Amino acid sequence: MNFIEQKYSSFKRYLMWHFFAKKLGLIHVVEYPKSGGTWMTQLLADYLDMYYPRNVIPKFKKAVIHGHYIYSPAFNKTILVIRDGRDVAVSYYHHLLLGNDRTPQSIINHYRSKVRFTDYENVKENLPEFITFLNEKYTKRINRHRWSDFIETYLDKEDVHIVRYEDMLHNGEEELKKALVFLGIDAIDDDKVSSAVNKFSFKNQAKRKQGEENKKSFLRKGISGDWKNYFTKESGLIFNKYNAEAMKKLGYIDSNDWINELN
């Protein structure tokens, strides 16, 4: 899509999410970027045989639709996909500053202009500044939020079902079934569930094993815990400054002791 089409698409999506969601019967899959939301949307759309407008101007019709909006009571049934915020920070660094097959060069150039370093491949050294950027300057634009603030808007909402990326990696079939039950699907077809999970597995989409990295792919690595390869004590302290409480609420940490294990 060109620039005008992208703006029109964004505007149309906003209207669908916030004003026509219940009338259209939308199924919302929402995430903070790089948390696995696209994956869950693919699984649901495939199982339910429903329209999924990905990277196109959406049609005003019933759909499984994916986005990054904070919670609104105007939404219809909503599935929130969460991921360890430390992995999110590392994955988002790669997405915004190193790019992949789905990141336009204009986006990469824009975010590179917002940081002070130029040796973008040195993720480990640059991560402290990038985490600070994500929690400060990044949030100044419309619909840009801190990871913790974004998550907090969805907690304790009856019309929201939470799925963990890490649980999807461990047992995608079970997590898809739980999401379907939340959506009111009573008779679940196990064969269809297995087929959807297999079709959209990392191996089948990326054509390589989980953990085998391709920095130029939207599906870069497909694992949890990659943050351990990049976080230093400085990164941990800065990350915790903004996100410790949310991490504890979600059960990713139970104290701040994890920082002491970093160099």
pLDDT of residue 59: 96
In this structure, the answer to whether residues 121 and 31 fall within a common structural domain is: no
Q: Provide the H-helix boundaries in 20-55.
A: 21-24, 37-48
Q: What is the pLDDT of residue 216?
A: 79
Question: What are the φ/ψ torsions at residue 27 (nearest 5 degrees)?
Answer: -110, 115
Same domain, 21 and 66: yes
pLDDT score at 3: 80
Number of compact structural domains in the chain = 2
Q: Say whether both 27 and 141 belong to one domain.
A: no
CATH of the domain at 9: 3.40.50.300
Taking residue 136's Cβ as centre, other Cβ atoms within 10 Å add up to: 11
pLDDT of residue 77: 93
The order of strands in the sheet holding 64-67 is: 64-67, 27-31, 78-82, 160-164
Task: Give just the sign of the alpha carbon dihedral 244, 249, 251, 252.
Answer: negative
Helix, strand or coil for residue 21?
helix
| 125 lies in the same domain as 17 | no
What's the Rg (C-alpha) of the chain? Answer: 18
pLDDT for 214 equals 80
- 67 with 89, same domain: the answer is no
Ranges of residues in the chain whose predicted pLDDT is under 50: none
39 and 10 within one domain: yes
Domain range enclosing 191: 3-84+150-204
Same-domain pairing of 24 and 122: no
Contact 248, 242 (CB under 8 A): no
| 78 and 154 co-located in one domain | yes
